[in-house]
Amino acid sequence: MDISINAKSAKRHAGIDIGRFIAIIGVVLVHSAGAGRFLKAETNINPYQFGIDAGVIIEQLCRFAVPFFFCTSGYFLSRQNGRPLSDVLKGIAIRLVPIYCVWSLFYVLITSKRLLWLSDPLYILEWLVNGGPGFHLWFLPALGLNMALAFYLRQSCTWKMLFVVAAMLYMAGLMIGSYLPLFVPHPDPVFIIVSRDLPCFGLIFVVAGMYLAEKQLKALAVSFAVCVAGAVLHMVEATMLDKAGLMPFQMNNYLLGTLAFGVGAFMIVLHFKNLPKQLEFFAKIGRFSTGIYAVHIFFIWIAGRTIKPTELYERLTIAFFVLMLSCLTAFVVKRIKPLQFLVR
């Protein structure tokens, strides 16, 4: 998602734009290929069941996507170095708060419990914290928090210290997330959400993006090696946790390997500042990943209620049409000048 402080003035990077397109496909697959938690809620399938199949393998192989977006925002955040902290924080708020408020209100208004979301204090609190029925919108406040914290710490910390702090928070997130069952039998799944929403998850990716913006990039082969090694480790961890009966394979938002998986994927696209003309169209779609991300759950929600998919081919078909409809919606909204901020 293009969440630079001033998206209009930010110089385009073709590799990052195509990376956004690939990552948004990954996000859609996370929520659909493995009969993701939202579809499971609509099809009365237990979202916390153990077991591994092709669908959840595809889902976990797409877990690089959200870390990629965190890295992207950190990369562009580095351009704000030297500006007063107050100005940067103001820029982050101006960029993220309106998007979050409008899209989260949209999801509140299309639910059957909208009166509760608008009147009950507990529902209102959940809505403000993580989007309420627009559960995927957790990313926006988490992104704002991590960007603000990363920029603040960078003013007074060396890179080494900053990475140490971010790594410690990441490990803490693992301990209260996917690895919590190692210490606490049958923990409440809410801990997985808490570990994701706090700075535990996103901070290290934002910091990595900032670092890569300022340092010389390693060889492309190294970037591929980091990404592949991270993907393999992520899948091994998820498999072992599932086979041990600790954490269902599909429930892992992030693991130790996800760190290299996401950062490696971002490192790869940085090598491609220019793209063949055949790929320019997809890069342009990537520029609207914010809007595609925000609206795609609406179409998944409709599919889950009408089609009730159970087979993998059905879910992949849904993912394709969800992506197409989300892209079309983003393009239409982009042409409505007062609403352009919602999709860019």
Hey, CA dihedral for 60, 62, 66, 68, is it positive or negative? positive
- Give residue 45's pLDDT: 47
Rounded CA separation 159/178 (Å): 28
Which amino acid, one-letter code, is at 64?
Answer: F
More confident residue, 274 or 137: 137
* Nearest C-alpha neighbor of 213 from the set 19, 76, 43: 76
- Give residue 308's pLDDT: 75
- Give residue 323's pLDDT: 96
Q: How many residues does the chain have?
A: 344
- Give residue 44's pLDDT: 47
Q: What is the pLDDT of residues 42-96, one digit of tens each?
A: 444 455 688 899 999 999 999 999 999 999 999 999 999 889 999 999 999 999 9
The token duo for 88 is 């940067």
More confident residue, 82 or 292: 292
Domain positions in the chain: 14-342
Rounded CA separation 305/39 (Å): 8
Confidence of residue 203 (pLDDT cuts 50, 70, 90): very high
Cα 263 to Cα 71, 129, 251, distances in angstroms? 7, 27, 21
